[in-house]
Structure 1
Amino acid sequence: MNRKFKGFTLIEVLVAMVIFAIVMGMASEAYRYFNRPQMTASNTVLDTQNLSQFKQVLNTLREVNAIYVRDDENQKQLYFYGSNNTLKYYTNSPILTDEPIAVSVLSISKELGGVEYCEFSFGQLNWRELNNIQNCDEENLFIKLGDNIEFKYFGWEDRDLFDKFLSGFFSMAVEPKPKWWNEYESTKTQTLPMFVSINFNDSTHKFLLSPVIIKLNSESPFSQRAQSDVVE
């Protein structure tokens, strides 16, 4: 006896595929609809926390204190150290300690994708110990800001040029001018940088797409701290 086996027609297969695509599309939209509010809220909270902590850290930088330290030759040196990935400075506005003045360390962590910030009590570290700090071992803040951040500094090459600029004896064509530096060490320049630029070259946060430029407190180049104000 002959048996005839009937398969699906092309139209039936196409109709089934269309129905399947519609069902999968509806399921995908439903998943995204019910999960979007939770994901957006989570990201918003994260961005808000990062932004709030970042503003606090920036305020410590604005309130930099022109503190002098004694070097190995017992000479008074103005202290501020900045490289492409690390900042060390004295601040009048600590956020992690109850002290009126603290040593702040801000370092970039490319592995973690952000910056680490910590503080040391005023007088806790001498000049050599402060120079040897590479990262934060103390209680610290971690702020996730992206993995391609760098610091730059706008200031004078040395105090002598600053004094000459203030003297007013130079014409506009030849007068000394400050410029941008990849590294700024006040123990060598004897002046604080005028501005610090924090560049976010590959940030994951929309509010950090442009460089953040911070104006620092400055000290008159004609003033010197009293002997009692020098950190030994």
Structure 2
Amino acid sequence: MKEGPDIARVAALIGDPARANILTALMTGKALTASELAEEAGVTPQTASAHLAKLQDSGLLTQRRQGRHRYFALASGDVAQVLEGLMALATVSGHLRSRPGPRDPALRRARVCYNHLAGEAGTQLYDALIGAGHITVAGDDLTLTEHGAARIRGFGIDMDGLTRARAPVCRACLDWSERRTHLAGSLGRALLARIEELGWARRAEATRVLAFSAAGDRAFAAFLTDIGRPENSAVSKASAP
């Protein structure tokens, strides 16, 4: 018997269509009830309970109780990163759903990937930070520079709080629709929260879509231009549109 991680077991758990739908539904970062996940998976509540038990036992999901309800969520950002990577692989390999639906363009533009910004908007943000030298790349490791930290602080984000957190500040995540990298980690989470706090975008109900308003689109574009200037040491304060 070979030793090492049992990727076949994890792959089999994710590979079931109903369980894959459950995991994908939780990519919004929002906890859902068993009945909500049964509807997402297209199975009966009894079948969903069996799937949820397997996913929880395997460490892919966590559960918490509140009153009579049980709420399920992805166990960690690592699970979300694996799922996003599999979506990218499925796209490259041509394994696409036969009914993409009218929301695809919106999903490709901007969406929530567990707790950070993904889609075209996510890769644009990542490219701006890398291009300006605010984040450096060494292999798989991303590092926020001192100048980058100052720019992020000027956007209204508590950098001291981010550096005290256990989670990595910067982390690369493969974007399934763009097939390039977007930013995860505690900084990616904080940037998404700040964008929502400023009112530039809001989460569409029951989907992963992050819908930018017209004013929010302009403000986000201006922010990308401003943060993408490595020669500009002045930090401008972000303001709501």
**Structure number with larger C-alpha Rg:** 1
TM more than 0.5: no
Q: Which protein is richer in helix relative to its size?
A: 2
- For the aligned pair, the TM-score class normalised by the smaller chain equals under 0.3
Decide which structure has greater strand share: 1
TM-score, L = length of structure 1: 0.23
